[in-house]
Amino acid sequence: MGENMVQENSLEPSRGRMPVLYVGHGSPMNVIEDNPWSRGYARLRGLVPRPQAILAISAHWYVNGNYLTANARPPTIHDFGGFPQALYDIEYPAPGDPALAEQVRNLLGKERARLSEDWGLDHGIWTVLHWMYPEATVPVVQLSIDRRLSVREHYAIGRSLAVLRDQGVLILASGNIVHNLRDAFAQMQSGTAITPVWASQFDQAVKQALLTHDSEALLSLYPDTADGQLAHPTPEHWLPLLYVAGAADPRDSVSFPTEGFDLGSLSMRNVLFG
């Protein structure tokens, strides 16, 4: 994060079509640790043109309704407990973008989405952006996940957001393609880190569906398969992927800048479309 990063940060924001990005965020500890996952987040800045702004979707704003952060200065949300004080001391002071929030609200339909100043940037977002854009100068708006919607409705929202890509907006979603904390914690307590067969099978099935832009295959994986139900006892870490898959199209190349599992049952796969 030295001279090269400062030079990179001086580049003008992109005015061309932006890629779409899904990030496996895993543990909040990744924000203060030097490990394969944090290094992977840092590498993403070199793979993505500098955005005009970021529309972020996180597993951790999972509520009854579609809301958009309208704060001029969204607060850093420390939405976790029992971690070292160093995590709570981190602030990510990126500006908001109320105009972008209003535009996204219009795209979704004013009757379906509301502006809010009751949230900010949660750890699913700022632990990643801390490494991608440590200078915290790119404006960020966060969109909530409406827990009442079906998987197809979430995917359809992603499709409605695709127009933002041509305006220099990076659509960034954060969750985990496999996220079974009960299994991960059991492995942590036993001192093992063995990826179960169901976890690797689900991760590979998702990879294949993404590579072939097969939305029907992707949407059928959860909750309609046994592996999917084990991979996601609850859906909030799965749903962010559907937003970026919806915003992508068959013209986009698909790559996986980071792959692998943490604690056995957390897929840390990152997905880049375009």
Averaged over 205-217, what is the pLDDT?
98
Residue 14 confidence class, pLDDT cut points 50, 70, 90: low
Domain boundaries, position 97: 3-273
Q: Which tens digits make up the pLDDT trace of 61-80?
A: 999 999 999 999 999 999 99
H/E stretch holding 177 reads: none
- Helical segments of 93-196, H only: 98-108, 123-132, 151-161, 181-190
Residue 4, pLDDT score:
39
Whether 8 contacts 262, CB under 8 Å = no
Exposed, middle or buried: residue 232 (CB in 10 Å: 0-12, 13-18, 19+)? buried
Instruction: Please determine, for residue 6, whether its predicted confidence score (pLDDT) is greater than 60.
Output: no
CA pair distance 169, 172, nearest whole angstrom: 9
Q: Residue 48: pLDDT band by 50, 70, 90 thresholds? A: very high
- Total H helices, total E strands in the chain: 11, 10
Hunting for tokens 């599992």 — which residue is that? 261
Domain count, the chain: 1
Say how many Å lie between the first and final Cα of the chain, rounded: 25
Query: Residue 5's pLDDT is what?
Result: 39
Poorest-confidence range of 9-18, 39-48, 160-169? Answer: 9-18
Residue range 89-104, pLDDT digits in tens: 999 999 999 999 999 9
Segment 202-216 mean pLDDT = 98
pLDDT of res. 156: 98
State how far the alpha carbon of 14 is from the alpha carbons of 75, 122, 134, in Å: 26, 25, 18
Contact 29, 85 (CB under 8 A): no
CATH code at position 94: 3.40.830.10
- The Cα 182–Cα 199 span in angstroms is 13
Chain mean pLDDT for the chain? 94
